[in-house]
Amino acid sequence: MLQLENVRHAYEGRTVLSDVTAELVEHRIGIIGANGSGKSTLARMLNGLIVPDHGRVLLDGRDTRKHAREIRRRVGFVFPDPGTQIIMPTVGEDVAIGLRGSGLDRAEIDGRVQRILRRHGLADHHDHPAHLLSGGQKQMLALASVLVTSPEVLVCDEPTTLLDLRNVKVIERTLRALPQQVILLTHHLDALAGFDRVLVMDEGRIVFDGAPTAAVAHYTDRMERAAAGAAEEPLGGHPDGDEPVP
Ligand SMILES: Nc1ncnc2c1ncn2[C@@H]1O[C@H](COP(=O)(O)OP(=O)(O)OP(=O)(O)O)[C@@H](O)[C@H]1O
């Protein structure tokens, strides 16, 4: 089980997470919130990519500070931009690199790579240059490259941002069908239908924690009120700013 205990974090003195505590046990958990509310920072803490300034992040009681290597292996992370994740020249090599050091022999690695590519619609692209894939295919490749390592938990940070609607649906369906726990950060609120739990973040805090329908309603209402407040603010900053200079 992933746990956040009184997590606080700041970048250059600016607090972006304030006292976040949560136990993440459900099979499908969504995290939503305004831009800059701290979702990605929190997500990156779940596999030790970022260590909190204060508090602890634990996987089965093991602190990401002390067990980063093990936790990174057990908690897979899919980044919003697949380009940052694809590191090898060809599709097959990119998936296979995740199994380096796994102790599997060449034939076993080849078999696993073929299977995962088939499952993600990339079987015909094994020798294809990875950088020539379409955006949707790159996103699938990034997902396949993480899943081939069989993580227990998959954290996906906006994995559908760059995609057209068809590919959004393909990725969402793929995530829904996975046997492992999925923690999904998304601005596509429809993707959360059927999820067990959704956390809403605002200004570095969890401001709502519950079922998807209630969480989405809370978030939508909060954002509508924030947008209305922003629309009432004078654009020039100072109310007299538009007066002619004498
Ligand atoms: N490496 C960094 N250095 C400095 N500030 C950062 C860094 N990473 C994030 N921030 C800042 O921390 C705040 C929270 O960012 P974060 O990416 O966690 O938010 P988010 O909720 O994922 O946003 P979005 O929905 O836009 O992706 C933002 O104000 C962001 O500018």
Amino acid 162: pLDDT = 72
Q: How far is the CA of 157 from the centre of ligand 1 (A)?
A: 12
The residue to mutate among 4, 39, 189, having the most atoms of ligand 1 within 8 angstroms of its beta carbon, is: 39
The 3-state DSSP class for residue 217 equals: helix
Which architecture does CATH list for 2-230?
3-Layer(aba) Sandwich (3.40)
What's the pLDDT tens digit per position in 182-195? 999 999 999 999 99
Handedness of CA 107, 108, 114, 118 (dihedral sign): positive
What's the pLDDT score for residue 243?
44
Tens digit of each residue's pLDDT, the chain (246 residues)? 999 999 999 999 999 999 999 999 999 999 999 999 999 999 999 999 999 999 999 999 999 999 999 999 999 999 988 888 888 999 999 999 989 888 899 999 999 999 999 988 899 999 999 999 988 889 999 999 999 999 999 999 998 877 788 888 888 888 999 999 999 999 999 999 999 999 999 999 999 999 999 999 999 999 999 888 877 776 655 444 444 444
8 A C-beta contact, residue 10 and residue 26: no
Residues with CB under 6 A from ligand 1: 11-12, 16, 33, 35-41
pLDDT of 241: 42
- Angle between helix 135-147 and 106-119 (nearest 10): 140
Ligand 1, pocket-test mutation among 40, 155, 201, most atoms within 8 A of CB: 40
- What region does 103 belong to: left with phi over 0, alpha with psi -120 to 50, or beta? left
Tell how far the Cα of 38 is from the centroid of ligand 1, in angstroms.
6
pLDDT in tens, 130-180: 999 988 889 999 999 999 999 999 999 998 877 788 888 888 888 999 999
Half-sphere exposure of 172 (CA within 13 A, CB side): 21
Cα atoms in the Cβ-side hemisphere of radius 13 Å centred on 212: 16
Q: d(Cα 16, Cα 42) in Å, to the nearest integer?
A: 9
Q: Which atom, in ligand 1's list, is nearest to the CA of 17?
A: 14
Site to probe by mutation for ligand 1, drawn from 41, 78, 79, 185 as the one with most ligand atoms within 8 Å of Cβ, is 41
Tell me what pLDDT residue 246 has. Answer: 42
Output the CA 225–ligand 1 centroid distance in Å: 22
Give the position, in ligand 1's atom list, of the atom nearest the Cα of 187. Answer: 25
Q: Give the ipTM.
A: 0.97
Q: Determine how β-strand 197-202 pairs with β-strand 28-33.
A: parallel
Q: Whose CA is nearest to atom 6 of ligand 1?
A: 11
